[in-house]
Amino acid sequence: MGHGAPTRRTVLTAAVAAAALTASLTAGCTRQGPSDDGRAPHGSAPPDGRRSAGTGSVLAVKIDNVAAARPQTGLDSADVVYAEQVEGGLSRLMAVYATKLPEVVGPVRSARESDLELLRQFDRPTLAFSGAQRKLLPLIDGAPLRPRTPDTASGAYYRGGDKPAPHNLYLRPARLMSGAPGRSALTTGFRYGPAPSGGTVTATRTVRYPVARFTFTWSAARQRWLVSMDGTPTRTTSGARVAAATVVVQHVRVRTSAYHDVLGNPTPYTETVGTGKAEVLRDGRSYEAVWNRRTATDGTTFTAADGSPLPFATGQVWVVFAKA
């Protein structure tokens, strides 16, 4: 123990000018509690020897999204993918699964305070994540969800050999849940249906964070928005190109939370309760919209300029939270 702390301080001090910033941007993580992002899971089975009772509620997985974590696994099977800004201006994803559970999902990373508000829309969702800042852990434990980390469900996680830690932690969903809960568990408030009239023909749309960006390009052949991140086409480890049926750019308030990463960078808090402007992209068109979520237990509705519901296209939905 005597050697660990001095070595860490020495490295951080020497890297203040350059490497520390790089480490901060690459990690994008808060200080960890017992479930550290950089620690391999131990043991071979959950403490109680049983699977978690997840059927009936969605599975939400925090997914790493820095360059070292790509390509991701299982991202194309998600029903909804949320993109949020984290420390250092980077991005992180939360993939929500209801109609299908892939064999493997990852790389899995740490949770944030604003995840708890976002997940209140679901009925006791299972949240798979690698850890969180120590002070945040009591809030997660007290939230109406099922938290599952490598410490509480070690048999569901493993370290892959394709990437360096901490970008190589993967989840086997079948070891957390007995099966996919079904579409009825997606209590997002989203409506699906035929494309509304109007809209603006749109070939591509880019959302930028300080050091990350998402680009969605319409493919008439696939009738989908092809996803690119940081200028690179997004593919999974299977080679599948990630493509969304609907893309939502949701303009929200992003404030500073009470938490920080290991280098002191403040953690952004993305407010998903309230109302504001949005853009809904579907069928090669962009529609101006207003989003509304009255309370944390409500889903989010999207309405057109005339107040009528704005339906989404059937298929995967990407929601990118953009600073209002």
Tokens found for residue 147: 């938290």
Strands 246-252 vs 317-323: parallel, antiparallel or unpaired: parallel
Q: Are 288 and 279 in contact (CB under 8 A)?
A: yes
Q: What confidence tens digit (pLDDT) does each residue in 67-123 have?
A: 999 999 999 999 999 999 998 899 999 999 999 999 999 999 999 999 999 999 999
Give the sign of the dihedral formed by CA 60, CA 132, CA 33, CA 13. Answer: positive
Query: What parts of the chain have a pLDDT lower than 70?
Result: 1-55, 259-264
CA 76/CA 99 separation, integer angstroms: 12
Give the sign of the dihedral formed by CA 311, CA 313, CA 317, CA 318. Answer: negative
DSSP structure class, residue 134: G
Q: Is 73 left (phi over 0), alpha (psi -120 to 50) or beta?
A: beta
Give this prediction's pTM.
0.83
Q: Are 214 and 81 in contact (CB under 8 A)?
A: no
Contacts 24+ apart (CB under 8 A), 235-240: 235/71, 236/71, 236/72, 236/73, 236/74, 236/75, 236/76, 237/71, 237/72, 237/73, 237/162, 238/73, 238/76, 240/76
Determine how many CB atoms are found less than 10 A away from the CB of residue 289: 21
Helix 4-14 and helix 19-27, axial crossing angle in degrees, nearest 10: 110
Tokens found for residue 31: 């200080």
Nearest of 220, 214, 222, 228 to residue 202 by alpha carbon: 220
With tokens 């059937």, the residue in question is 314
Q: What confidence tens digit (pLDDT) does each residue in 115-143 have?
A: 999 999 999 999 999 988 888 899 999 99
pLDDT for 65 equals 96
With tokens 């064999």, the residue in question is 103
With tokens 């408030």, the residue in question is 189
Determine how many CB atoms are found less than 10 A away from the CB of residue 149: 26
